[in-house]
Amino acid sequence: RSLQLEERKPSQQIAQRRVRKRRRLRKVRRRVRKSREEEERKQHVQRRRLSSSSDDNSEDESMSEGEMARLKEEVEEKKKLIATLRNKPWRMKRRLKCLKEAQAFVEKFEGALGKGKGRRLYAFKVMMTKKIIKFNRDFENFKTACIPWESRIKEVESHFGSSVASYFIFLRWMYGLNLVLFGFVFGLVVIPEVLMGMPYGSLARKTVPREEQDSAMDFSVLFEFGGYCKYSIMFYGYYNNQRSIGLLQFRLPLSYLLVGVGIFGYSLMVVIRTMARNANEGGDGAEEGTFTFCWKLFTSWDYLIGNPETADNKFASTTTSFKESIVDEQENLKDENIHLRRFLRILANLLILCCLGGSGYLIYYVVKRSQGFAKKDRNELTWLQKNEVEIVMSLLGLVCPPLFEVIAELEDYHPRIALKWQLARIFALFLGNLYTFLFALFDEVNSKLENEKEIKNATIWALKEYYTNYTLYNNVTENIPPPNISPADVIRGPCWETEVGIEFVKLTVSDIQVTYLTILIGDFLRAVIVRFLNYCWCWDLEAGFPSYAEFDISGNVLGLIFNQGMIWMGAFYAPGLVGINVLRLLSSMYYQCWAVMACNVPHERVFKASRSNNFYMGLLLLVLFLSLMPVIYSIMTLPPSFDCGPFSGKDKMYDVIMETIEKDLPPFMADIFSYASNPGLIIPAVLLMVLAIYYLNAVSKAYQNANLDLKRKMQMQRDEEKNRRNNKDSTNQVMKDLEDLMPNKSLIPPPSAEETEIPADQLRKSPKVTGKPGAAATGKGVHVQKDVSLAAANPRAPVTRPPGPRPPGPLPGNARGPPPGQGMGRGRGGPPPRR
Amino acid sequence: MGNKQTIFTDEQLDAYQDCTFFTRKEILRLHGRYHELAPHLVPMDYTNDPDVKVPLALIVNMPELKENPFRNRIVESFSEDGKGNLSFNDFVDMFSVLSEMAPRELKAIYAFKIYDFNVDNYICKEDLEKTLNRLTKEELTPEEVILVCEKAIEEADLDGDNKLSFADFENMISRAPDFLSTFHIRI
């Protein structure tokens, strides 16, 4: 053997390793065999005692089935332990030691387990699992390394607390979403058209018309997305309707349609996944008033705070909050005049409805006016008239929310409820504005479609004329070359999709401008004025009237959500819009981080709008669905323009899919699709889905009811314990009613030592221990079940005071009749356990 | 893989990743922070597991903990000797529990330990009074303090012993909507 060790050639090293492994396995097998033999000897002895036949046919090298199963179970347990090790509340040293032991055990016995026929497969499975774990870990490491702006957010957190930082975390999440959408649009639509499609100037749709070419490069024209901008990859009109382009036969129209719909699909998936992940954090949902003081004590300090000023602020606000709760508790302020309140609230709601209606009408009016302007010559219009729509929409979004806040003063709600109302109103405002805008826009589309019919006829007529003339002059009837007109001179249709895309892009850009300007003026300028004018002003500007601004979390989050809604709507008509949004979010992050740190102060009172983060995610989901509808409507019903865009020449946009199914897919697929679109199949499928929804709804309701039942029971038990402890009468109405139903106490013989309390509605699942009842005592023949009590122990265990004088009549659930003897109070026969 | 670092062996880093909620990069960063607390005390080479403890006074000066009114209690709860001297293992453990990814149950356990000032496994009235005074910088009058503590015990105490056991505390804190977002330190 020593000779073998000396000559170590590389090819022999592998053999050496195999030999060593085999030796190791042999050792393990020997050990296992020894332990098994011991066990067998014991079993053998036992069997001899029992004089039953024994089967010691176990081979030397393999273990019996039972052994293997048990060992496998142990290995699985160890693996589970390793996976959950970080959740255990142990000291780190203990965890590390436990990890090492578990890993050693798993490694040792995993090799031994792979015996018999399945050995290779088992070893392979083990190796693959290890590789997958390692890959997952590396991927997680890589992902966390990629997360940007971590230090920036941490700074904001330490200065402003977790609620302001949650806005920036949301912004970062949006940025990630938009980046992925941009990747889709760019990679699957823009790049193929740029690389493999026809270049600028080759086709009519890709060239600036002759009339506009002089002004095409002007800044003012470009700023409104006309000129070269309009005939670029940014808008729908640039894309060619050629069925397949380039070497790879890339189907651009199909890809355009699928990406347009796929954007919504991907966004939906991501939003729902995030909602599901956030749903676990919500907490169990106790009622508002149950743990007020406890929660204030234990959860009001924000551990993220690292800045001394913020900390001082937090101390002050915590103190104020405690004082308020104490005052509330002591005085129990209840409202005096409920009628006045109701009247004021109705008045406030009416006013707000008027505002909303007014703003909707204003937008409609302005859009109609802009259509009138569009007919006039561009040069006669002032800048104001040209951008009226966007200015009005942005101004409304700026002016109305503070107006709502002022009106809401009439209502006098608790701040958290007032915040919810405010959010709902702002949401309604934005939604109303957006949809009015859309309706007005689609009105315009219809008029453009009319216009288009005329131009289309004119084009066809002109073409026919050209062919006839050619035939006349050259006496040729076939193979006539197409007319030799430069693309810039061709008659163009109005191309409504590009117009819609331009409107969306202009809206987004003006929204960006307004947001940035607001921050600059409303926050920065205000802060500068307060800071520097304070030296020469009569009252203290910092503490009194304007003071520094607080960061408006809900307004900013809503603005972000609606911006995203506009992007979703407009991305189909203007593929470049997603790119603009990515740039906007990127710059927003830096700009707003700077603005918050430089110009804002931390909040005095913080009220979260909801228990979990799912409130804003839910809004986002709603906006997603609302922005899906216009796009789907236009895909399904509106005819595409005849001379621009990837769907030109078709009747409806989704004809691309039908074409693909017919021409590209094998014939049986077309059959399948035609069968699948048969109404006879679709209607039953829809019915089936409706039934499934109904069933799931019923099941979830049942679960909710069971949940509520359990909660109610726990609450009742808790109340009972408290009342018993405080020696008070039961506040539970059911218990009171039961008391009243009891027969007259003086007629009952002294009760047994056991306590009995079985409220009637707890028959099925009674939470308390009920020993033998004094069935006579209850007097109702109630069926008593033994069940496990949720209470830790006898609540009266540490008897620090002698039992007080009991009021006449039964206490809820107590022993009926005269108080029992001293040591036999309510225990289960034994003395109360010591603590 | 990646950059060659000599602070930990690869097995050590993998073990830390299994035992905490941190990734490899974060663990190395944590070691950097630990080292800069006491550069002369903490070695750069941890491959042979040196037994070094940084005293309480240096740790509570970290910017993340400096303004926290419970900083002493936090560090004491995670130290082995109860006096606040943290080894690197304890340091990592502390930030792992306080990180975003730790589950609610784990945080509740350590929150209970932190607020239990006299370390008797119950949060009694004195503990609550101390908590309140730290939270409000002693701005409340003594009567108000007594009132708040009594109300808190009344709300959360289920078994009637006038102090909060872990079961009471856990029952109360598991329903708190703000607990997870406030009991969080980012490092």
Model ipTM value: 0.92
Pick the closest to residue A303 from A165, A147, A150 (CA basis): A165
Q: Whole-angstrom Cα distance, residue B166 to residue B156?
A: 11
Contact A301 B182 (CB under 8 A): yes
What is the DSSP-derived secondary structure letter of residue A601?
E
- For residue B158, which residues of chain A lie inside 8 Å, CB to CB? 718, 721, 791-792
**What's the token pair of residue B108?**
């509740």
**Which chain B residue's Cα is nearest to A284?**
B175
Q: What are phi and psi of B164, to 5 degrees?
A: -95, 115
Pick the closest to residue A389 from A489, A551, A507, A483 (CA basis): A507
Return the SS3 of A312. Answer: helix
**Which chain A residue's Cα is nearest to B91?**
A92
Contact B161 A158 (CB under 8 A): no
Mutate to test the interface with B, among A303, A727, A789, A801 (most CBs of B within 10 A): A303
Put simply, the chain B residues between 7 and 46 with a CB less than 8 A from any chain A CB are: 14-15, 17-21, 23-26
How far apart are the CA of B152 and the nearest CA of chain A, in angstroms?
5
Q: Whole-angstrom Cα distance, residue A257 to residue A636?
A: 12
Is residue A290 packed enough to be buried (19+ CB in 10 Å), middle (13-18) or exposed (0-12)?
A: middle
Pick the closest to residue A806 from A814, A794, A798, A797 (CA basis): A814
Mutate to test the interface with B, among A154, A170, A298 (most CBs of B within 10 A): A298
Contact A303 B183 (CB under 8 A): yes
Interacting residues of A388 by C-beta distance below 8 A, sequence separation 6+: A366, A369, A370, A373
- Asked if A723 and A787 count as a contact pair (C-beta separation under 8 A), the reply is no
Contact B185 A796 (CB under 8 A): no
- For residue B25, which residues of chain A lie inside 8 Å, CB to CB? 141, 144-145
**What per-residue confidence (pLDDT) applies to B185?**
92
How far apart are the CA of A434 and the nearest CA of chain B, in angstroms?
34
Asked if B52 has any chain A CB less than 8 Å from its own CB, the reply is no
Pick the closest to residue A603 from A195, A41, A96, A162 (CA basis): A162
How far apart are the CA of B48 and the nearest CA of chain A, in angstroms?
14
- For residue B93, which residues of chain A lie inside 8 Å, CB to CB? 91-92
**Which chain B residue's Cα is nearest to A146?**
B25
How far apart are the CA of A89 and the nearest CA of chain B, in angstroms?
6
Instruction: State pTM to two decimals.
Output: 0.71
**What per-residue confidence (pLDDT) applies to A390?**
78
**What per-residue confidence (pLDDT) applies to A767?**
38
Interacting residues of A834 by C-beta distance below 8 A, sequence separation 6+: A797
**What per-residue confidence (pLDDT) applies to A823?**
38
**What's the token pair of residue A466?**
């050209």
Interacting residues of A543 by C-beta distance below 8 A, sequence separation 6+: none
Contact A144 B23 (CB under 8 A): yes
Place of tokens 């699948």: A676
Residues of chain A with pLDDT under 70: 1-10, 25, 28, 32, 35, 38-63, 111-118, 280-289, 331-336, 377-379, 415-416, 476-482, 605-613, 725-735, 744-835
Contact B106 A285 (CB under 8 A): no
Interacting residues of B158 by C-beta distance below 8 A, sequence separation 6+: A718, A721, A791, A792, B167, B168, B171
Contact A322 B106 (CB under 8 A): no
**Which chain A residue's Cα is nearest to B79?**
A91
**What per-residue confidence (pLDDT) applies to A32?**
67
**What per-residue confidence (pLDDT) applies to A761?**
39
Maximum Cα–Cα distance across chain A:
128
Contact A283 B80 (CB under 8 A): no
**What per-residue confidence (pLDDT) applies to A14?**
73
Asked if B109 has any chain A CB less than 8 Å from its own CB, the reply is yes
How far apart are the CA of A696 and the nearest CA of chain B, in angstroms?
27
Asked if B136 has any chain A CB less than 8 Å from its own CB, the reply is yes
**What per-residue confidence (pLDDT) applies to A49?**
52
Upper half-sphere CA count for residue B132 (Cβ side, 13 Å): 30
Q: Summarize pLDDT for B8-21 with one digit per residue, the tens.
A: 998 899 899 989 99
**What per-residue confidence (pLDDT) applies to A397?**
80
